[in-house]
Amino acid sequence: MNKINHTLDIDIKALDGQFIGANWIKSKNNSYPVVSPSTEQILAHVSLPTIEDSDYAVSLARETFDNGSWSKLPIKDRIEICERLCDSIEKRLPELNRAWALESGPTLSHARIINDQVGVAVWRQMLISAKNIKWEEQREDALLLREPIGTVLSIMTFNGPIVLMGMKIIPALLAGCTVIGKHAPESQFTSRLISEAIEEAKLPSGVLTLLAADTKVTQHLVSHPSIDMVSLTGGTAIGIEVVKQTADRLARTTLELGGKSPAIILEDADLDSTLETLVPGSTAFMGQVCVNLSRVLVPKKRHDEIVDALASRYKSFEIGDPLFEGSQQGPIAVQRGLERTEHYVSSAKQQGANVVTGGKRPSNFKKGWWYEPTLLSKTDNSMRVVKEEIFGPVTSVTTYDDYNDAIRLANDSDFGLAASIYGKDDELIMNMAKQLQSGSVAINTAGISFMQPFGGYKKSGWGKECGDEGILEFTQIKQVIRG
């Protein structure tokens, strides 16, 4: 295997500062280490945003929204400015993909799919949607005006710092809001590269600031009285805390939270074609994807056949440096993710689950947060590994008796983000899809549509991202009547 040798060979401005409003500002805190998940080496020391930095960013956003021209611009002008930003981000995608691989460990092939394909498609669709929305609509007895909600805090995660620009930031800007984009502290490089794109696109001062902030600053921003709306992508526990911190001022919240998504394989499913999407749908980015199909429900009579086939695919992954083109899986992005994964696998074994493949750190890596893609059998819905989101490379296989039992097991969860059904009986599958308590159901495939409104049921969140609805979440309706 090629020796891993990660170095920061990307030209990134102001590792010792923040881009706030329209200027790079030196920060007082320059001691945060960016650690490679592949090697555990420190790639750079950067400045974390301080409370003072965040207050300044919010004050600019507040002033710009209340007294500036952004929210009052014709929609065609906001579209034009946002399009400049999209152009500038797209120009930097090769650098952004490499930066993301360095700081968080996705393979370059995964980065290109998520950013070059999905990300570009999402923010380009947002620009089209903004043209088609009825911002003013005359109904029978009233004129309806869709107006921006105000200042928005958009909290993003390390597993999608670039694509989430299209799902959160661009829609809020198009709606006329001013935005503080809060990247994860692990997204230091990507956040600064996107800030350079904001600078190049010449967005008006105060309209958009990105801060790759830690928990202390994030909590300060969430509770800030000048933040009118919080849009969060993150874990369910964090979502609950956001609701508590915004409750006193009744700030608007949209929450895209955790998942424990089931894949139901029916008795008549073609296994080869099923595995083509089920395997990547259950293992992408080492399971660090909110819609990851981490629960596979199989008929008892096909259990051994399906488990053997899945195990063969899981064992075949080329685990290696995410910067090498041939790598199919990289490391887990954060050390706490590795420790959490180990904890859940240990718990599953204690509760009687069988480790079919994986379940340990690969022996050929002396440093880094590596873990083998893991397949568990003999699991049931009483086990923590089945009930709780791991956000790591662990898939459980559970048997069911009939399709009613499969629906029962699938819905027996606090989560309801995504699901898949594999089989040949279209009428049966559609009937099952209607019964699943899930914000998205994929038939004979995995994943979601990023062109249509997406969001979870139950503890997987509230509100929608993508589609026209993804922009309208950042608006409020005013009615105007005449006497």
Among 124, 295, 159, 141, CA closest to 233: 159
Considering the domain boundaries, does residue 69 fall inside one? Answer: yes
Look up the domain containing 316 and give its range: 262-450
* Predicted pLDDT at 1: 38
**Is residue 300 located within the same domain as residue 420?**
yes
Considering the domain boundaries, does residue 455 fall inside one? Answer: no
**Is residue 441 located within the same domain as residue 421?**
yes
**Is residue 68 located within the same domain as residue 116?**
yes
Among 89, 70, 27, CA closest to 205: 70
Q: What is the mean pLDDT of residues 426-440?
A: 98
Considering the domain boundaries, does residue 2 fall inside one? Answer: no
Looking at residue 305, which CATH number applies to its domain? 3.40.309.10
Considering the domain boundaries, does residue 12 fall inside one? Answer: no
Indicate if 388 belongs to the active site. no
- % the chain with pLDDT above 70: 98
Q: Looking at this protein, which amino acid is placed at residue 141?
A: D
Among 244, 190, 182, CA closest to 214: 182
pLDDT tens-digit map of 260-318? 999 999 999 999 999 999 999 999 999 999 999 999 999 999 999 999 999 999 999 99
DSSP string covering 297-313? EEEGGGHHHHHHHHHHH
pLDDT tens-digit map of 186-204? 999 999 999 999 999 999 9
**Res 247 pLDDT > 60:** yes
**Is residue 249 located within the same domain as residue 269?**
no
Considering the domain boundaries, does residue 237 fall inside one? Answer: yes
How much is the pTM?
0.95
The number of domains in the chain is 2
Considering the domain boundaries, does residue 289 fall inside one? Answer: yes
Indicate if 290 belongs to the active site. yes
Determine phi and psi for 138, rounding to 5 degrees.
-85, 115
**Is residue 39 located within the same domain as residue 73?**
yes
DSSP string covering 271-294? HHHHHHHHHHHHHGGGG-STT---
pLDDT tens-digit map of 218-229? 999 999 999 999
Provide the sign of the torsion angle of the four alpha carbons 445, 472, 468, 158, taken in this order: negative
User: 250 pLDDT band (50/70/90 cuts)?
Assistant: very high
pLDDT tens-digit map of 311-357? 999 999 999 999 999 999 999 999 999 999 999 999 999 999 999 99
* Predicted pLDDT at 21: 86
User: 29 pLDDT band (50/70/90 cuts)?
Assistant: confident
Quote the mean pLDDT of the chain: 95
* Predicted pLDDT at 14: 79
Q: What angle do CA 452, 246, 389 make, to 5 degrees?
A: 55
Catalytic residue (choose from 86, 177, 290, 466): 290
**Is residue 82 located within the same domain as residue 231?**
yes
Looking at residue 219, which CATH number applies to its domain? 3.40.605.10
**Is residue 279 located within the same domain as residue 382?**
yes
User: 100 pLDDT band (50/70/90 cuts)?
Assistant: very high
pLDDT tens-digit map of 366-409? 999 999 999 999 999 999 999 999 999 999 999 999 999 999 99
User: 457 pLDDT band (50/70/90 cuts)?
Assistant: very high
Considering the domain boundaries, does residue 163 fall inside one? Answer: yes
- Separation of first and last alpha carbons in the chain: 78
**Is residue 148 located within the same domain as residue 269?**
no
**Is residue 249 located within the same domain as residue 278?**
no
Considering the domain boundaries, does residue 4 fall inside one? Answer: no
**Is residue 390 located within the same domain as residue 309?**
yes
* Predicted pLDDT at 27: 80
**Is residue 240 located within the same domain as residue 329?**
no
**Is residue 146 located within the same domain as residue 238?**
yes
Q: Which of 15-19, 25-29, 91-95 has the lowest mean pLDDT?
A: 25-29
